[in-house]
Amino acid sequence: MKLKIMNLLVIVYAVMVAVTVLWILVGSGEGINTDERIPEAASVEFTAATVAAATIEVSEPPVSTVPSLTQPLPDLTEPPETTTTQEEVATMPPFHNNIDPSKPMIALSFDDGPADATLRILDLLEKYNSRATFFVLGERIAGREFILERTVKSGSEVAGHTWTHRNLAHLNEKQIEKELLDTNKKIESVIGTAPSFYRPPFGVFNDKVKNASRNAGLAIVNWSVDAGDWRSRSADCIYDAIINDAHNYAIVISHDLYDFTADAMERVIPELVEKGYQLVTISELMYYCNVELEAGKVYFCGLY
């Protein structure tokens, strides 16, 4: 009997201590900043049910965010969404105000894109505050419009390289014009402006090609430095070809179809910048060389 009474007294004492502590911490508020006290409503809502609900929310994210093993994974090769509208592209300044006409400049150019390697080259150009000109094939644009949009948004420029990469010397004038105009129309539908010049496949031209170009309202721009990337297929050889032949007002040709060309650009671009060259677009190069491009005429660099 005495043992039962002692146990009961211990329980009562424990309850009294608990009530006293609770009253000190919450009820009286003495010595406590009232701004830091738990609001009464919050203390009432903080129940076991609330804790359980919170636990479920953390441990079980929405089903839509957890890929099922029986469902195909998302296509990570899909192009990123672009926020650049055609109106914005059309109103972008054609030239950049960071060009010093008294310093040497070179126009890098890339043929046969757009391609995956184009994105790597654009990354490098942006890293070194540089620009280039990309001669694209009309038949390769569909599905890669975002590459053209990014090219222009980053300050580089887009021009045509015909629709199908056929040797224009083997076509009649009407066929040549169609190759040129179809490509220009597709470019304009993406970036909002049509180029005023193009590059013929293989750099081939004759009087027939020049006449068709004049009728299409387009100048012909070839090159003065050939990287030879399609031939060597070696990043080291591409680097040597460009660095050894680089000169003021040069136009350099290479191809953004190839990963080895992008590999070479990882060395070429910073090296040219280190040597003091400003890497500009062909339009910028011609502007600062006081050259006005004329439809049907052929240009190889800023000097001729």
Positions marked catalytic: 111, 255
Rg (CA), the chain: 34
Name the nearest CA neighbour of 107 among 199, 235, 213, 191.
199
Burial 127-163 (b: 16+ CB within 10 A, else e): eeebbbbbbbbbebbeebbbbbbbbbbebbbbbbbbb
Token match 């909002």: residue? 192
Q: Measured between alpha carbons, how far is 53 from 61 in angstroms, rounded to an integer?
A: 12
Q: What is the DSSP letter of 139?
A: G
CA pseudo-torsion sign 185, 135, 275, 273: positive
Neighbour tally for 264: CB within 10 Å? 26
Token match 């068709």: residue? 212
Residues 137/142/147/150 CA torsion (nearest 10 deg)? 110
* Residues with Cβ within 8 Å of residue 229, at least 6 apart in sequence: 237, 238, 254, 255, 258, 260, 261, 264
Name the nearest CA neighbour of 179 among 162, 194, 167, 196.
162
